[in-house]
């Protein structure tokens, strides 16, 4: 089953090891669309939603292909896995910074991998700001994700106050440096960065394509300084924050924006399908 294929080691889904370049591809990086279901839905709704989602190109890495990943709540990962269509991947919303042991309530990266996850969200703003997760902690979570063979989807983004005081880019830069501290370029080949400005999450106030594109350039500038130009050009940088069926096309038409991390609209099958279709037009 494609849901058990690890994109970190699968050349078809890992741009770092995929040496075949489709001739008609306007953008170099494979689009990535994540549906972050957060703490929503119960089993019956989870199954209906999961069954409705399709990955263009069946997730096989061909033209028109999009990495489509759903991030259900932990209790439903094993429920969702068998009902996903070919190519739709499973992801965890978080993982522990510890490998295993006496950590009540936490979920280990190896457990996520074991239950069929290909990726994991690290440092979502609802955890940074709601639960006080620090960059130092997130760096350890990235280490656990990488050790388990999961694609880390590292979330960064400024608050409204930080943006209004002109510090958005400084915040993005410092979150990246802190969260990636201790990790070598060679270990991070599968990294995805999600730029999610806190003021845009769940507010209906989407970043303009210009603002999002500018923030994504900041992400790449920092990655270039930390690692290399080549690395900064191959990492996927996706946008999250009130992405919906109406604004997705405009955002995803920008060269800098490799995909989306979608909350509310990912709970509505037709809206999520429209966003995936917009991403598919990039490839």
Positions marked catalytic: 124, 196
Q: Which residue is nearest to ligand 13P (CB)?
A: 263
- Residue 175 beta carbon to ligand 13P: minimum distance, rounded to whole angstroms: 15
Shorter beta-carbon distance to ligand 13P: residue 2 or 266? 266
What is the binding site for ligand 13P (CB under 6 A)? 36, 124, 196, 201-202, 240-243, 261-265
Of the candidates 49, 83, 44, 59, the residue with the CA atom closest to the CA atom of residue 6: 59
DSSP 78-101: HHHGGGPPTTEEEEES---SSSSS
d(CA 111, CA 213): 35
Q: How far apart are CA 125 and CA 157, in angstroms?
A: 7
Nearer Cβ to ligand 13P, position 61 or 141? Answer: 141
Decide if 66 contacts 115 (C-beta within 8 A). Answer: no
185 vs 211, which CB is nearer to ligand 13P? 211
Q: Is the dihedral of CA 16, 22, 28, 34 positive or negative?
A: negative
Q: How many of the other CB atoms lie within 10 Å of CB of 13?
A: 25
| Other beta carbons within 10 Å of 24 | 7
Taking the least distance from each CB to ligand 13P, the nearer of 218 and 242 is: 242
Nearest distance from residue 126's CB to ligand 13P, in Å? 7
């Amino acid at each position: 089953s494609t849901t058990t294929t690890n994109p970190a080691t699968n050349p078809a889904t890992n741009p770092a090891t995929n040496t075949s370049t489709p001739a008609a591809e306007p953008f170099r990086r494979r689009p990535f669309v994540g549906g972050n279901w957060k703490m929503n839905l119960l089993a019956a709704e989870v199954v209906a939603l999961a069954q409705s989602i399709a990955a263009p190109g069946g997730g096989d890495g061909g033209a028109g292909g999009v990495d489509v990943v759903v991030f259900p709540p932990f209790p439903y990962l094993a429920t969702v896995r068998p009902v996903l269509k070919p190519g739709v991947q499973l992801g965890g919303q978080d993982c522990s910074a510890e490998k295993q042991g006496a950590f009540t309530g936490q979920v280990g990266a190896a457990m996520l991998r074991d239950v069929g996850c290909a990726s994991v969200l690290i440092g979502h703003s609802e955890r940074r700001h709601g639960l006080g997760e620090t960059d130092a902690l997130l760096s350890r979570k990235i280490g656990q994700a990488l050790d388990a063979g999961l694609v880390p989807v590292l979330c960064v983004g400024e608050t409204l106050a930080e943006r209004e005081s002109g510090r958005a880019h400084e915040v993005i830069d410092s979150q990246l440096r802190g969260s990636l501290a201790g990790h070598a370029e060679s270990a991070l080949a599968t990294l995805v960065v999600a730029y999610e400005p806190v003021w845009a999450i769940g507010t209906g106030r989407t970043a303009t394509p210009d603002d999002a594109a500018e923030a994504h350039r900041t992400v790449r500038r920092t990655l270039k300084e930390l690692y290399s130009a080549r690395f900064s050009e191959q990492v996927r940088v996706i946008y999250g924050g009130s992405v919906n069926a109406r604004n997705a096309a405009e955002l995803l038409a920008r060269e800098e924006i490799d995909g989306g991390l979608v909350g509310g609209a990912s709970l509505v099958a037709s809206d999520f399908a429209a966003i995936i279709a917009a991403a598919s037009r990039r490839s």
